[in-house]
Amino acid sequence: MRTLSSVFFSVFIYMWYLTIALSRPFRLFQLTGVRRKLILVCGSFYCLDALYRVVLQALGISHSKIPLNILIFVSVCWQVYLLKDHFEMLARSRTQKLTFFFQMTVPICFSFLLAIATASFIYPTFSKQNREDKLLIALLAPLI
């Protein structure tokens, strides 16, 4: 049941960057050829993630989060590459191309790394603390 619920809810993680990319202020005709490719990349990586979780559950192996985080990160990088490749004709110089690439990657990578750091460091620290320290962490963690 735990594996099936995590497979179901991981679809939101894989569609996260796609929805962010499609909600940016692009005109509809600018995304004509790339929308299907982005959906295909999201769907294929989601299927790989689901297959990984189900196979490990069937084999009775407890899985780690590292391969799943790598799958998510590679999925986002591939989507950024597709968008960069699609909009490469708009940028004329190398500086503009590099600027566009960083504008597409830095916000999503920063939030991704911050989420991993929160899940890896703050929450385990929270469970080891006494009552007053838990209150302090619970008050300050949403600010991050």
Q: Is the pLDDT of residue 143 over 60?
A: no
Per-residue pLDDT, averaged over 27-54, amounts to 84
**DSSP conformation class of 122:** I
Residue ranges of the domains in the chain? 2-143
What's the rounded Cα separation, in Å, for the pair 55 and 46?
14
Q: How far, in Å, CA of 65 to CA of 74, rounded?
A: 14
Rounded Cα distance between 142 and 134, Å, is: 13
The amino acid that residue 80 corresponds to is V
Nearest to residue 71, comparing CAs of 86, 53, 85, 88? 53
Whether residue 105 is predicted with pLDDT greater than 90 in this model: the reply is no
**pLDDT interval class at 141 (50, 70, 90):** low
The band of 60, judged by pLDDT with boundaries at 50, 70 and 90, is: confident
Task: Indicate the range of 3-7, 46-50, 78-82 predicted with least confidence.
Answer: 3-7
Average pLDDT of the segment spanning 67-76:
84
Residue where the block lists tokens 């998510």: 72
Tell me what pLDDT residue 6 has: 79
